[in-house]
Amino acid sequence: MALSREDLLEAYRRMKTIREFEERVHVEFAKGGIPGFVHLYAGEEASAAGVCMNLTDDDKIASTHRGHGHCIGKGVDVHGMMAEIFGKRTGTCRGKGGSMHIADLDTGMLGANGIVGGGPPLVCGAALAAKLKRTGGVAVAFFGDGASNQGTTFEAMNLATVWRLPAIFVAENNGYAEATAAKFSVSCEDISTRAAGFGMPGVTVDGHDFFAVYEAMREAVDRARNGGGPSLIEAKLDRFFGHFEGDNQNYRAPDEVKRIRAEKDCLQRFRARVASDIAAAELDAIDADVRKLIDDAVAQAIAAPDPLPEDLTTDVYIRY
């Protein structure tokens, strides 16, 4: 299925929304309004969008500590997300989860995760449910280069093949796990090399290129929906910010981020690629929309009420 004009606009809107969301969280964090650990996804938008543009609400994703982009890509409400990050009662998780635990089962988002490698096993289960219930759905595990070394990730890939699950493993290799380089921690050149050992196809794509991710994902989703089992996609990409807010990034080369922003911005690349089909003004209009959306989300989040004291002990058991 080729991308329609509407699809392209939608893809751009999602990427731009992620970017704007993250740049704004960065600012609000610095102002002191946002508590806790916050990991920004800016720079990696083409991955979330390229993957999620292939998915419906019935499909599931599991995310990571760096989850805002996956949420937005999958269609989680931006207002709820922002309020959650501010710890407010109107948040997606009523203020109990925060940035690292945003989940929204209605849109198929099984949760960000504070545990590196926590998601891939869950995705096997989501894929199993789709398979046994014959929904035709697929499930996607996003994970980083760091998580690619975690035992849970390997086990999940093996299980997905053994059970022939409609699961897709998306390794977002941004070169770092915290301050440790993937060059050091990943024992092979490309994470996709590992696919062979798990009996599944593996491919490495340029994660700054929405179209490259989209196409690789399209193949993988087709295979999965048709009973062909799991796939591994590695997207090589970069993060614009530190590991978390507050990271001074001294492990990076001095001009590294500047260079990346200048040369590897997925939004700029997208604009260039669609230039002949879509007028810049149309995209600019989206930019303006998005900015308004995020302004509004932040304003609402700040104004929103805190959780109530009695919320402390609800939601822990359904019935005790």
Partner 1 sequence: MARKILFQQAINEALDQEMARDSNVIVMGEDVIGGTGADGEMDAWGGVLGVTKGLYGKYGERIMDTPISESAFVGAAVGAAACGLRPVCELMFIDFLGVCFDQIYNQAAKFRYMFGGKAKTPIVIRTMIGAGFRAAAQHSQCLYPVFTHIPGLKVVIPSSPYEAKGLLIQAIRDDDPVIFCEHKALYAMEGEVPEESYTIPFGEANVVREGSDVTIVALARMVGFAEKAAAALAKDGISCEIIDPRTTSPLDEDTILESVENTGRLVVVDEASPRCGMAADIAALVAQKAFGALEAPIELVTPPHTPVPFSGVLEDLYIPGPARIEAAVRRIAEYA
Ligand X SMILES: Cc1ncc(C[n+]2csc(CCOP(=O)(O)OP(=O)(O)O)c2C)c(N)n1
Please state, in angstroms and rounded to a whole number, the distance separating the CA atoms of residues 130 and 165: 9
Helices (H), the chain: 5-31, 45-52, 68-74, 78-85, 119-133, 151-162, 182-185, 210-225, 256-263, 266-274, 280-303
Please state the closest distance from residue 69 (CB atom) to Mg ion, in A. 13
Please state, in angstroms and rounded to a whole number, the distance separating the CA atoms of residues 238 and 229: 29
The entry of ligand X, its own copies, partner 1, none that residue 198 binds, CB within 5 to 8 Å by partner kind? its own copies
Of 75-134, binders to partner 1 (CB under 8 A) are 87-89, 91-98, 100-101, 103-105, 110-111, 113-118, 120-126, 128-130, 132-133
Of 210-269, binders to ligand X (CB under 6 A) are 243
Q: Which residues bind Mg ion (CB under 5 A)?
A: 144-145, 174, 176-177
The closest residue (CB) to ligand X is 144
Pick from 196, 262, 279, 303: which binds its own copies (CB under 8 A)?
Answer: 196
The entry of ligand X, its own copies, partner 1, none that residue 66 binds, CB within 5 to 8 Å by partner kind? ligand X
Of 118-137, binders to ligand X (CB under 6 A) are none
Q: Helices H, strands E: what count in the chain?
A: 11, 7
Binding string, 157-176, against its own copies, x = CB under 8 A?
xx--xx--------------
Give residue for tokens 């959306």: 293
Please state the closest distance from residue 254 (CB atom) to partner 1, in A. 7
Give residue for tokens 């996607």: 140
Question: Which one, 130 or 200, has the nearer CB to its own copies?
Answer: 200
Please state, in angstroms and rounded to a whole number, the distance separating the CA atoms of residues 68 and 201: 28
Please state, in angstroms and rounded to a whole number, the distance separating the CA atoms of residues 218 and 170: 12
* Residue 125 Cα distances to 44, 113, 141, angstroms: 26, 16, 11
Question: Which one, 2 or 254, has the nearer CB to partner 1?
Answer: 254
Of 9-68, binders to ligand X (CB under 6 A) are 39, 64-66
Work out whether 79 is an interface residue with ligand X (CB under 6 A): no
Half-sphere exposure of 195 (CA within 13 A, CB side): 21
Helices (H), 149-279: 151-162, 182-185, 210-225, 256-263, 266-274
Question: Which one, 277 or 311, has the nearer CB to partner 1?
Answer: 311
Interface with its own copies by CB under 8 A: which residues? 149-152, 154-155, 157-158, 161-162, 184-189, 193-200
